[in-house]
Structures are given as structure tokens and as C-alpha cells.
Amino acid sequence: MIVSELKPWNVIQSYLANDKKVFILGCKGCAEVSKTGDEATVLATKKQLEQEGKTVTGWAVADFLCDRALIKFKLLPFKSQVESADSVLVMTCGIGIQAAAAVIDKVCHPATNTINLGGARGEWPGAERCRQCGDCVLEYTGGICPLTNCTKMLINGQCGGSKNGRCEVEPEVRPCGWQLIYERLEKLGKLDYMKDTVRVKNWNKMQPPPALRSTIKWSIDQPDIAPTPTTAKEVAKK
């Protein structure tokens, strides 16, 4: 599974500062287990936003947000509610946020950070990938991850090797990740976001948090590691 945690509320508030109407999109997959995109958390977020004067045009919780087709299918009954919103708050892992941003013609704000468990995990086949960096920057890049779409994992814009929109590392098969970001932001009318992407990244957050290493989530993601007494008790409870 993929573990995510909600960003601090003041960060989410800053993302939505200029938006009066918001649609909320949650996920019944990994985000439900992490309590970041389940129905209860989505409704709690809706209530909090409304208390702060925002209009929530609607909300939905999809089975899995890591698949573009499932997102499109789930949002069909909510088309008018999504269209009337200024933006969409996406409550799931980095893969789901990217997939949502790819199919929704709105700014998609990330409500979570994706936490690295250090192991392998199942994913839907698709173009979206997440490095579980623990400090999601998708807010500033139009929902396209610079860590997975740029071969050099640059977070401050394209390098001097980008030519004709192609990456110098694999020009035949790989577009420049930052060219994709630029085109997405231009389409959304948010090129001013490019001014906010220069930042210092704490790469230590890509390490699995010590607190997770004593949980069943860590044990499941590390199949060669025997469950600790703590994780064994969690299994017994289930």
C-alpha cells in the first residue's frame, strides 16, 4: 500500500486562499487506510472549509484515484459540481493527485504528503509515479511530479540540457518534465506558479519515518522482514 498523511491545515489553507468554491475528491484505496481520503475525513474537511467561509460545490470518494479511467467514471455524475468549483482538493497519495490533475481541467491542490516505506508496492499501470518524498510539491507544478518526470529530479525548473521539449538523457523517448509542467500551468492559466517553485527540499523526509517501522504497514511493505511483536499484535486485533 501507499501511506499518506494530511498536510498541515495552514498549508492547505494557503493553497485555497484565492479559491471561493472547492470540490473535494477522496479515495477508498490506500488513502482510506491512511485516513487521509476516506469519507469521514473528506466530510470533516468539507465542514471545516465551510466554517471558514468556503463553498464546497460537492465531494466524491472514488474506489481508486490512481487510475485515470476510474476518476473520469466516478466524476461523471458530479460534472456540474466540478465545473462550478474554482479548484479541486485531492485527498490521496501523490499518484492519485497526479492522475486527478491529468483528467480534471481544474487546478488540483494536494491535501497530503506521501510517506516513504522503503519497499515495493502495487500500483495501477499508468504514467503517474510518486517517490514518496514526504513533502509533496504538486501544488506548484500543476500536478506533475518533477521528481519522477525529470531525470535529474530538479525542483526549480528545467536544466540547460532540455531541447525542443525533450530530455537530454533520453531525447527519443522522454519529454522534458519541466516542459510538461510549463504546458500544464499555461493551460490552467497559472504560469505565475513558476515563481513559487524555488525552494529548499528536505530530502531527509524521503527516509521511512521511525514511527512507521513498528507498524503493520511497514511489515507488509517489507515481505522479507518478520513482523515485530507490535505488528503481530496489530494483526491479532484484526
Does 1-136 carry CATH code 3.40.50.1860? Answer: yes
C-alpha cell at 218: 511497514
How high is the mean pLDDT of the chain?
A: 85
Confidence band, pLDDT 50/70/90 cuts, at residue 236:
very low
d(CA 52, CA 57): 14
Q: Which of 46-50, 115-119, 166-170, 213-217 has the lowest mean pLDDT?
A: 213-217
For residue 110, how many other CB atoms are within 10 A of its CB? 28
More confident residue, 238 or 211: 211
C-alpha cell at 36: 487521509
Contact (Cβ atoms closer than 8 angstroms) between residue 17 and residue 33: no
* pLDDT one-digit tens code per residue, 14-23: 999 999 999 9
* pLDDT one-digit tens code per residue, 101-117: 999 999 999 999 998 76
d(CA 101, CA 72): 11
C-alpha cell at 116: 516513504
Confidence band, pLDDT 50/70/90 cuts, at residue 225:
very low
Contact (Cβ atoms closer than 8 angstroms) between residue 60 and residue 38: no
Mean predicted confidence (pLDDT) in 186-198:
84
Mean predicted confidence (pLDDT) in 165-177:
91
Dihedral sign, Cα of residue 52, residue 56, residue 61, residue 67: negative
User: Where does the chain have alpha helices with state H?
Assistant: 9-15, 30-34, 39-51, 68-75, 79-83, 94-103, 146-149, 177-188, 216-221, 229-237
Domain range list for the chain: 1-136, 208-238
Which amino acid type is present at position 161?
G
> Judging by beta carbons within 10 Å of its beta carbon (0-12, 13-18, 19+), is residue 76 exposed, middle or buried?
exposed
d(CA 124, CA 198): 31
* pLDDT one-digit tens code per residue, 68-90: 999 999 999 999 999 999 999 99
What totals of helices (H) and strands (E) does the chain contain, helices first? 10, 6
C-alpha cell at 161: 540540457
What is each CA distance from 25 to 6, 202, 218, 235, in whole angstroms?
14, 28, 27, 30
